[in-house]
Every structure is written in structure tokens, then in C-alpha cells.
């Protein structure tokens, strides 16, 4: 049970930091921020493994920067799509 809570906290943190690095308002709900944060965390972790910077001495700043960067990129794609979902053409 605690593992599920930890996953939600990590998703919210990574997604929230991803939203902070972007300019302007992102019209997406909190649940989508958590979901994008989780995807960003996993994708950033995989990317850091591929680049060979996943395990370093001390805090893995490069891995965390990659996770936040992936989340910010996903938010950049998801926010306009979410904002225009109810507009009929």
C-alpha cells in the first residue's frame, strides 16, 4: 500500500517540476500531471540508463534532470491537446 502512495508522490513531484520549468499556464488536471510525471520518471530513468548516467556517486542529478525534462516535454504536448478536446470544428 505504501508503495502505491510513494508512486503517486513521485509522479506528482516530477510532473509538478515539469510544469514549473514551462512558461505560462498548462490547462491540465492534477491526475494528468501525476500520470505524465510517472511516465516522465520511467522514461527519464530508461534514458539515463542508456546514456550510462543512472548510477553515480551521491545524488543522481543528471537522471532527475532527464526525468523532469521528459515530463516537461510530455506536458508541452498534452496541454494543448487537453485544452482543445471539447472544441468542435
Q: Which residues fall within 8 angstroms of residue 14, CB to CB, at 6 or more apart? A: 37, 38, 40, 41, 44, 67, 68, 71
CB atoms within 10 A of CB 82: 15
What residues does each domain of the chain span?
A: 29-82
Q: What is the pLDDT of residues 24-74, one digit of tens each?
A: 888 899 899 999 999 999 998 899 889 988 777 888 888 889 999 999 999
**Res. 89: pLDDT tops 80:** no
Q: What ranges in the chain are assigned the alpha helix state H?
A: 2-20, 30-51, 61-83
Tell me, what's the pLDDT at 87? 66
Tell me the pTM. 0.84
Amino acid at each position: 500500500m505504501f508503495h502505491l502512495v510513494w508512486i503517486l508522490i513521485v509522479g506528482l513531484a516530477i510532473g509538478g517540476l515539469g510544469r514549473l520549468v514551462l512558461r505560462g499556464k498548462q490547462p491540465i488536471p492534477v491526475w494528468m500531471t501525476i500520470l505524465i510525471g510517472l511516465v516522465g520518471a520511467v522514461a527519464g530513468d530508461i534514458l539515463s540508463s542508456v546514456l550510462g548516467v543512472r548510477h553515480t556517486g551521491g545524488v543522481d542529478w543528471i537522471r532527475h534532470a532527464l526525468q523532469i525534462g521528459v515530463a516537461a516535454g510530455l506536458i508541452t504536448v498534452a496541454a494543448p491537446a487537453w485544452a482543445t478536446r471539447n472544441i468542435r470544428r
